[in-house]
């Protein structure tokens, strides 16, 4: 398996650019996959510099309905003429970031793309093929991040309420006897997502690639230390290895690193993982 980080909040090379967002290019089981697009067309610019041909992508997945993961969807559909794009049925609902004393800020993705012929809407579990599966419906709020508190949604009745993150989906890839879990922001909590996989499959994934949403985007402040330590304790008691970045934040990453040592690595724009 090959994973190249096309977009993340930080960057390892002066030849590449970064933004608040996430986009991963994956080669697994002889398939070329794009997981998230970042906030705009930067993933295309970086892909060209990283020897990734977006036109050749065969499967695309948007993890949830926030702009920093699906804002480049239109650019992808214009660049790539063959891949289906899988999004949760609620990914095109209105989503907002609301900070006390300020007007709501649109955090969603372009709803006009919902009707595109190559957009495939999911709800629950979906087998893309025998070795690649999407799942949503994660329950539980163990070690739940307060950094979710500023995120809201507008259901059909028009009342703006706290985001319940039902639009978030995660990807499982099985290759060479190993299972890889790929998530976007893990808004439902990485602990709860991993427990969901364990309850379904009887084991934790061998590798996890995900943001952990432990940083407030507006203020860059990290989640409370006790929450991060609770997550670290849980992760340490698994045998999994972790790659994280984006909404995890560097402060939280370093606290996790203190506990997990070489079992956790940071993903920055330009990172290659095999």
- Three-state secondary structure string covering 192-221: HHHHHHHHHHCCCCCEEECCCCCECCCCCC
Phi, psi of 226 (to 5 degrees): -65, -35
> What is the band of 262 on the pLDDT scale with cuts at 50, 70, 90?
very high
Q: Tell me, what's the pLDDT at 97?
A: 95
pLDDT at 255 over 90: yes
Q: Is the pLDDT of residue 94 over 80?
A: yes
Q: Residue 103: its pLDDT value, please? A: 86
Quick one: which of 99, 89, 98 has its CA closest to 65?
89
**pLDDT score recorded for residue 157:** 78
The pLDDT of residue 77 is above 80: yes
Split at pLDDT 50, 70, 90, the class of 258 is very high
Domain boundaries in the chain?
2-273
Mean pLDDT to the nearest integer, 14-23: 98
Q: What pLDDT is stored for residue 155 in this prediction?
A: 84
pTM of the model: 0.97
| Cα gap 85→94, rounded to integer Å | 19
Position 43 pLDDT exceeds 80:
yes
Cβ neighbourhood burial of 26 (10 Å; 0-12, 13-18, 19+): buried
Residue range 19-37: mean pLDDT, rounded: 98
Asked if residue 159 has pLDDT above 90, the reply is no
User: pLDDT exceeding 90 applies to what percent of the chain?
Assistant: 93
Taking residues 66-74, what's their average pLDDT?
98
For residues 266 and 156, the model is more confident at 266
**What local confidence, expressed as pLDDT, does residue 219 receive?**
83
- Helices 225-236/250-260 angle, 10° precision: 40
Question: Quick one: average pLDDT of 226-237?
Answer: 98
Average pLDDT over residues 174-202: 97
Lookup: tokens for 13: 């090379």
pLDDT tens digit sequence for 161-187: 999 999 999 999 999 999 999 999 999
Pick the CATH number of 2-273 from 3.30.420.40, 3.60.15.10, 3.30.360.10, 1.10.10.10: 3.60.15.10
- Supply the pLDDT for residue 101: 75
């Amino acid at each position: 398996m090959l994973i190249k980080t096309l977009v993340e909040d930080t960057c390892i090379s002066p030849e590449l650019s970064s933004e608040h967002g996430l986009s991963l290019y994956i080669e697994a089981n002889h398939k070329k996959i794009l997981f998230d697009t970042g906030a705009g067309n930067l993933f295309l610019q970086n892909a060209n510099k990283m020897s990734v041909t977006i036109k050749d992508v065969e499967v695309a997945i948007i993890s949830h309905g926030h702009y920093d993961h699906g804002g480049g969807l239109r650019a992808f559909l214009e660049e790539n003429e063959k891949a289906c794009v899988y999004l949760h049925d609620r990914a095109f609902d209105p989503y907002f970031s609301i900070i006390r004393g300020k007007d709501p800020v649109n955090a969603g993705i372009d709803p006009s793309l919902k009707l595109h012929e190559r957009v495939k809407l999911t709800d629950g579990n979906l087998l893309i093929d025998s070795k690649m599966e999407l799942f949503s419906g994660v329950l539980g709020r163990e070690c739940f991040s307060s950094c979710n508190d500023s995120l809201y949604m507008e259901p059909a009745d028009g009342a703006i309420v706290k985001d319940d993150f039902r639009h978030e989906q995660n990807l499982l890839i099985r290759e060479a006897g190993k299972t890889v879990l790929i998530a976007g922001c893990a808004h439902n909590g990485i602990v709860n997502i991993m427990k969901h996989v364990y309850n379904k499959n009887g084991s934790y994934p061998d590798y996890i690639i995900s943001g952990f949403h432990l940083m407030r985007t507006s203020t860059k402040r990290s989640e409370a230390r006790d929450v991060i330590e609770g997550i670290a304790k849980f992760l340490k008691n698994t045998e999994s290895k972790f790659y994280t970045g984006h909404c995890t934040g560097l402060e939280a990453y370093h606290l996790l690193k203190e506990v997990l040592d070489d079992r956790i690595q940071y993903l920055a724009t330009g990172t290659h993982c095999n």
